Structure 1
Amino acid sequence: MAEKKQFQAESQKLLDLMIHSIYTHKEIFIRELVSNASDATDKLYYKALTENISSIAREDLSIDLMIDKEHRVLSIRDHGIGMTKEELELHLGTIANSGSSAFKTENEHDDIDIIGQFGVGFYSSFMVAKKVEVVTRKFGEESGHIWVSEAIDGYEISPCDVDNNGTVIRLYLKDNTDDDNYDEYLGEYAIQSLIKKYSDYVHYPIKMNMTTYQPIEGSEETQEVIENKTLNSMVPLWKRNKRDISKEDYTEFYKDKFNDFNDPIHTIHTSVEGTVSYDSLLFIPSKPPMDYYSNDYEKGLQLYSRGVFIMDKATDLLPEHFRFVKGLVDSQDLSLNISRELLQQDHQLKFIADKIEKKIQSELEKLLKNQREEYEKFFESFGLQLKFGIYHSYGMLKDKLQDLLLYYSSNQEKMLTLQEYVDAMPENQTEIYFASGESYDKINALPQIEAIKDKGFDILYLIDNVDEFCFQMMRDYKEKAFKNVAQGDLDLQSDEQKEEIEKQVEENKGLLELIKESLQDKVVDVKISTRLKTHPVCLVSSEGVSFEMEKVLSAMPDGNDVKAGRILEINPTHPIFEAMQKVFEMNQEKINDYSSLLYDQALLIEGFSVENPVEFSNKICQLMIDASN
C-alpha cells in the first residue's frame, strides 16, 4: 500500500527554488540524471571490487534511455546499486542529502569516480516533468519499491515487483506552453545531442533505441530499422595516454569540438596531479575567428568535472592576453556551485588558471625556439593580442610577453625578436630604432629613415595601430630605449657635424623664422634637418604623441583633439633649400607660398591629408607657370 509523505528540509520552498531558480537551462536535467545513474553504477562496481562479486562485470553495466512518445514519458535506467525504501526516503525525501557525497567520504578507489556532491540534481527533473516515478531495487534485495511525486503534494512510496537491481526514473513531461516546448525531450536526436554535449565522457555506455530508415534493396522505398545505439564515447581523449594519441586524433577532436575547419598550429596536452589535480587539452588555432577582435567574441575554456560537461566558456581559466587559446579543463577538485553550472571563486580555480597561463607561455617560447616558421604563422594571426596584453596591462606583462614579440627588420628583411635585434646591434648603437606606417613598403619610402640607414643601424617597421602604444608602455628592452626615427632629435652627428649644423642654423636664422611665421600655428618649429639625405623635406613630431598615435587616437570618437606637435625639417643639402635661400634674398613675399607647398608635401609623405587640396593644386600650377616664363 502506498505511503504518503511530505518532503523534508523546508520542503516546498526549497523544491520550488530548485525548479525555478537554481538551474539556468532546463536541458540540464539530462546531465544530472545521467550523472546520478553513473554514480549508482559506480557504487555497485565498487561493491563488486571490494567484495569480490564475480557475477558483476564492468562491461555489462550500462545506462539506458527510453522514449515513449505516445504517453510522453522519458526514462533513464541504470543497472547499479539500487535503493531500499529507507534510502528512497533519505535521498529523495530530503532535498540536498547527497548519497554520492557520503559515499565518496567513506570510500576511495582508483576505478571509482563519483560525480554527485549536493544531492539536488534529481530534483531538476521537475523542471520538465509534471510527475516523476522512481522504480528501484537494491542489489541483494528480493523486492523493490516505487517512489512517485508530482512535487506539490510530497511523495508516495510503495512496494513493487522489480526483476533486477538498479533504478528507473520515469519523467512524465509537462504539457507544452507558448514559452516551452517539452516535446523536444521526446526526440531521439535531440536527446542524443544533449548526451553528446553534457555526458559524452561518462564512463559507462549510454544506450538508446534509435530509429533509422534504410533503403530496401531493389526498391526506392525505405524501411524503418531500430538500432540500440551507444550515444557517448566514454573515454575522453585527454584521459588517454599521450603516447597512444596521434596528431590526427588531436586535430580531428579539435575540429569537431571547436567547429574549426583549419588545423590547429599547436596542441598542449597536460595532466597535473597534486594538491589540485586536473587534465587540460589546449589548442592554438591557426587563424582567428571572424569575430575575434570584436566585442562579440567570448574567451574561455570548456570546463568538465570528472568528465561531465559543466560550462562552455570558463573565462577565469584564461588570461586576456592568451584569449585566442581554445580547449578544455577537466578537474575533480574544482569547487562548483550547487547547480554545477558556475565556478566558485576559490584558490583551486586560481591555481589551475596560473598553471595554464605558465604552460601556454612556455609552449609559445618553445614554438618560437624550435618551430620558427609555425610560430611566425601564429604571430601573424595573434601577435596583435600579445601587444594588446602589454598595452592594456600598462606594461605589467612586459617581462612575460616581450620575448614573444616579432617585428620586421629593415636590414635583414624578415621578422626578428627584440633579443635578435639587440644581439645584432653594433657597439656604437645605443637605442632601438623604429618607424611606423601603413605597410612595410610605405615605411621603407619614408624620408625620416635615411640617416639611420646611412649609419647602418637596423630599423623595426611597425604596422599595427597598437605598436607604438605598446613600446610606450615597455619604455625599453634590456636597457635599450625605443626611439622613433620620426620624432625628436636623433643625436647621430659627430661634434664636427653638430658645429656645421649650428653654423647653418645661424646663417639661415631669418629664413627659418620667416618660414615658421608663414606657417603660423601649423608647426611648432622649423629646423635644419640632420636626418634627411636625399629628400627635400619631412615632418617629425615633438616628444609625446607621435604622428601614428595621432592617427589612431583621431579615429576614436573622443580623440579628435589629440594632435602631435609638428616640426618641419628642411634638408640643407637639397637644391630646394638653395632655392628657398634665393627667394628669401630676392622676393620674400613668395616664401609664404613656398613654405605652404613644402608643408603640404611633407603632410602627404607622412600620410596626412592637406587642409586645402584646391589651394595646394593651384599653387603647384602657378609654380609650373612661373617656371616656364
Structure 2
Amino acid sequence: MPTETFEFQVEARQLLQLMIHSVYSNKDVFLRELVSNASDALDKLRLAALRDDAPGADTSDLHIEIEPDGDARTLTVRDNGIGMTHDEVGRLIGTIAHSGTAAFLEELKEAKDAAGAEGLIGQFGVGFYSGFMVADEMTLLTRRAGEARGTRWTSRGEGTYTMETVDDAPQGTSVTLHLKPADSDDQLHDYTSARKIKEIVKKYSDFITWPIRLVTPAPAQEAPAGGDGAEAAGGGPAAPETLNSMKALWARSREEVSDDEYHELYKHIGHDWRDPLETVRLQAEGTFEYQALLFVPAHAPHDLFTQGFRRGLQLYVKRVLIMDDCEALLPSYLRFVKGVVDAQDLSLNVSREILQQDRHIRMMQRRLTKKLLSSVKDMMARNPERYTTFWREFGAVLKEGLVTDAENRDALLAVSSFPTTYGDGGPTTLKGYLERMEDGQEDIYYLTGESRRSIENSPHMEAFRDRGIEVLLLTDPVDEVWVDAVGEYEGKPMRSVAKGEIDLGGRTGDDAGTEREQQADAYADLLGWMTEQLDEGIKEVRLSSRLTVSPACIVSDAHELTPALENMYRAMGQEVPPARRILELNPDHQLVKGLNQAYRENEDRTRLAGTVEVLHGLAVLAEGGRPKDPARFVQLMSERLERAL
C-alpha cells in the first residue's frame, strides 16, 4: 500500500504547536510518557494472552527497550506488547481528537501556570505528543500482536502526517524521535546520553513491572593501518542494561518507599501529572491475603460524570496484572480513586462476570471502601485545608453513596460537609449543625437549588433569615435525592424549607392566635376562589408563615417530589405524574391585601383573575421555573404596568 498523507484537524494543529513550544515546565517527562505507554501495551498483551485473545502473539520476553544514537541524533523507545492495527493508528495516533482535544485546549487556555498545563496534558491523554518538545520528527512503527502486517506513522508536527503499511514490522510498537539539533534553544539536555536516560528512568519509571533495557551501540573502531577500510570492526553493541528495579511498591514496607516513588506510581497508573492528594496503604492478612495501594487525586477528571468514564483499580494476582480496570473493587461513588490491589488466592483467568460474584472481591470492596472513608475522616481532622480540596473536587460524587450505599451511610455523612447560612457561609458538617440548633428546633432545615445565589434569594428563606435559623444550601443535583434517602440525622428529620407547612413560632400567646384566626377568616373566600382559578396546576392556595417580603411562593406538599426531582426522573426515562403544587400568600404584603380587598368589594373578577395569574407566575419565576404560558404572562404584566403608570 502506498504512503498516504493526511492533515490534522484545526484543534490538533493547535495542540501540536503547544507541544512544540512546550507547555511543560520539565521536558524530561516526554520519556516518562513514552515508557508509560509502552508499559500499558505490555500489560494489554499479557491480559490478552491470559484470555486467549491474542493468537500467535509472542509473550516469551516482554520488555521495553530504549536505544539512543548520538551520531544519528535519534532516540527510540520500543516494546513488544500488544501493538496497533492500521485503523487503530489512524484513530488513536493520527487524529488526536480521540483524546478530547477541543475540551483540552479550552481548559488549557484557563490554566494559570505550567504545572496546571502539565496536569491537563496527562489528564487528557495526549502525552505521546510531548515528544515534539525535543524532536523535529517522530516515527511510529507498530504491528498488532497476531497480525501479519504493520503500520508506519510519521509526522514533523507541522499539520500533516503520513501512514503506510509495512511487511517487516516486529510485534509491538517503536517510537523514534529525531532529536532537535544539539545547539537548539529548545534542547536543554542530551537525550542520547546513557547517563541522562538512566537518571530519567530511575526518577520516573523505576516501579514499572516490565524490564526497561538500555541498548547502546558499541563505538565504531577505525580499520588497522594498511588494511582494507571495508573490514573496519564496530565491535557489536553492548549487552542491554536493565535500568529499573521492577519492585512492586505495594509489596515493600512503608519505610522503604519515598513519597516521590508513590507519586510516580500514581502518575503512571492515573495518567496524571500532578501528585496525588492522598496515598492509602492496606495490608490484609489472615485466611485471604492481599495488599492495596490507593491514591486520591488532587483534581477531578474532566469526564468524571460522563457515561464513558473509565474506572476501577488495577487487579494483580501474585504480582501478575490480570485486569487493568476492575470496577468491582470499589463502589461507583469512589470511581475517582486510582490504585492497585494484589491478591494471593484469585484465579489468573477470571472474567468480570465472575468477579462481580466472587466473595473475596466483595470482601475486598467492603474493606477498601471503609479504609478510604476512614482516611478521609482522618484528613478532616489533621489537614482541614486538604480535606477542603478533596470535598470541592469529589463531594458531589461521594454524595451518590448516600443514596446507593446504606451500609456506609453513617461513615459518608461523617465526612460530608455542606454550605450553610451560618457565619461566613462556609461548609459545615451535620454534626456542627446539630451543635448550633436553637432550643426547641426539631428539624435540620435545607433548601436545594441551581446555585447558592438563587437559594439565598428564594422567598422560602425569608422567615428563616429574619429569625436567624440556619439552613443548609444544597446545589448539587444529587442533593435532591440523598436528602430523601437519608431522611434524618441522629434522630433529627431533614426538612426542606420549600415543602409542607412551616411554623417557626414567632409571636405567641392569645393575641397571636387570635390574629391568625382573624387572617384566616378574612382571606378564606379569596383563597377558595383563587384555588378554583388555578385549578389545573395548583391543588391549594393558603396563607404563608414563611414569607416576610415576597407576596407569594410555590411549595410542594410534605411528601411530594420537587420539580427538580421530577425532571431528574424523567431524564432517566421514568414516567412521573406531575405533582400539583401549593401557592402560599403573604397576608401582610400590600399586593395580597389589595387583591383581597378588591375581591371582597366585588371588583371585576376577570381583571382580578389576570392578577392572580401574574401573582402565580411571579412565584414560579422566584423558584427558578417558568410560567406555563410565558407570552400570556408577559402580556398580563405589561397591561398592569401600563395601568400603574
Q: TM-score, normalised by structure 1?
A: 0.66
Q: 2:284 aligns with which of 263, 272, 286?
A: 272
Per-residue displacement from partner, 1:172-199 (whole Å, max 9, x unpaired)? x988269998943276679xxxxx99x9
Q: 1:237 aligns with which of 222, 244, 249?
A: 249
Deviation at residue 479 of structure 1 after TM alignment = 0.5
Contact 1:516 1:525 in 2 (8 A): yes
Structure 1 residues 538 and 20, CA, compared in 2 at 3 Å: closer, same or farther?
A: closer
Contact 1:429 1:457 in 2 (8 A): no
1:201 aligns to what?
Answer: 209
Per-residue displacement from partner, 1:265-288 (whole Å, max 9, x unpaired)? 111123333322222110011222
1:210 aligns to what?
Answer: 215
Q: Which has the larger radius of gyration?
A: 1
Contact 2:212 2:243 in 1 (8 A): yes
Structure 1 residues 250 and 452, CA, compared in 2 at 3 Å: closer, same or farther?
A: same
- 1:401 aligns to 2:398 (yes or no): no
Q: Distance in 2 between matches of 1:319 and 1:358?
A: 11
1:24 aligns to what?
Answer: 53
Q: Distance in 2 between matches of 1:461 and 1:492?
A: 19
Deviation at residue 509 of structure 1 after TM alignment = 1.2
Deviation at residue 595 of structure 1 after TM alignment = 0.3
Per-residue displacement from partner, 1:463-502 (whole Å, max 9, x unpaired)? 1111121011111000000111011111223464454223
Q: Distance in 1 between matches of 2:528 and 2:147?
A: 88
Q: Distance in 2 between matches of 1:505 and 1:340?
A: 64
- 1:593 aligns to 2:610 (yes or no): yes
Q: Distance in 2 between matches of 1:510 and 1:335?
A: 76
1:218 aligns to what?
Answer: none
Equivalent positions of 1:273-292 (< 5 A) are: 273-292=285-304
Contact 1:535 1:574 in 2 (8 A): yes
Matched position secondary structure for 2:309: coil
Q: Distance in 2 between matches of 1:314 and 1:592?
A: 62
1:176 aligns to what?
Answer: 148
1:509 aligns to what?
Answer: 524
- 1:520 aligns to 2:520 (yes or no): no
Unaligned runs of 5+ in 1: 1-18, 36-62, 68-123, 125-172, 191-195, 216-222
Deviation at residue 21 of structure 1 after TM alignment = 9.3
Q: Distance in 2 between matches of 1:301 and 1:434?
A: 36
Equivalent positions of 1:94-493 (< 5 A) are: 176=148, 183-185=169-171, 200-201=208-209, 206=211, 210=215, 228-230=240-242, 232-337=244-349, 346-393=358-405, 395-412=406-423, 413-493=425-505
Q: Distance in 2 between matches of 1:434 and 1:64?
A: 57
Contact 1:336 1:342 in 2 (8 A): no
Contact 2:446 2:471 in 1 (8 A): yes
Matched position secondary structure for 1:303: strand
Q: Distance in 1 between matches of 2:588 and 2:356?
A: 70
Q: Distance in 2 between matches of 1:501 and 1:181?
A: 92
Matched position secondary structure for 1:567: strand
Per-residue displacement from partner, 1:573-605 (whole Å, max 9, x unpaired)? 111122112321151422201101100101110
Deviation at residue 227 of structure 1 after TM alignment = 6.0
Q: CA RMSD in A?
A: 3.9
Q: 2:561 aligns with which of 524, 541, 545?
A: 545
Deviation at residue 209 of structure 1 after TM alignment = 6.7
2:626 aligns to what?
Answer: 609
Deviation at residue 517 of structure 1 after TM alignment = 1.8
Per-residue displacement from partner, 1:114-136 (whole Å, max 9, x unpaired)? xxxxxxxxxx9xxxxxxxxxxxx
Contact 1:553 1:562 in 2 (8 A): no
1:533 aligns to what?
Answer: 548
2:184 aligns to what?
Answer: none
Q: Distance in 1 between matches of 2:357 and 2:568?
A: 38
Deviation at residue 229 of structure 1 after TM alignment = 2.9
The letter of the residue matching 2:215 is M
Contact 2:217 2:238 in 1 (8 A): yes
Structure 1 residues 510 and 334, CA, compared in 2 at 3 Å: closer, same or farther?
A: same
Matched position secondary structure for 2:617: helix
Matched position secondary structure for 1:552: helix
Contact 1:337 1:344 in 2 (8 A): no
Unaligned runs of 5+ in 2: 1-47, 68-81, 83-144, 152-165, 177-203, 221-233
Q: TM-score, normalised by structure 2?
A: 0.64
Deviation at residue 441 of structure 1 after TM alignment = 0.9
Identity of aligned residues (%): 30
Equivalent positions of 1:34-45 (< 5 A) are: none
Contact 1:451 1:533 in 2 (8 A): yes
Per-residue displacement from partner, 1:123-157 (whole Å, max 9, x unpaired)? x9xxxxxxxxxxxxxxxxxxxxxxxxxxxxxxxxx
Q: Distance in 2 between matches of 1:339 and 1:513?
A: 65
Matched position secondary structure for 1:408: coil
Structure 1 residues 603 and 341, CA, compared in 2 at 3 Å: closer, same or farther?
A: closer
Deviation at residue 445 of structure 1 after TM alignment = 0.4
Deviation at residue 337 of structure 1 after TM alignment = 2.8
1:566 aligns to what?
Answer: 581
Q: Distance in 1 between matches of 2:540 and 2:597?
A: 21
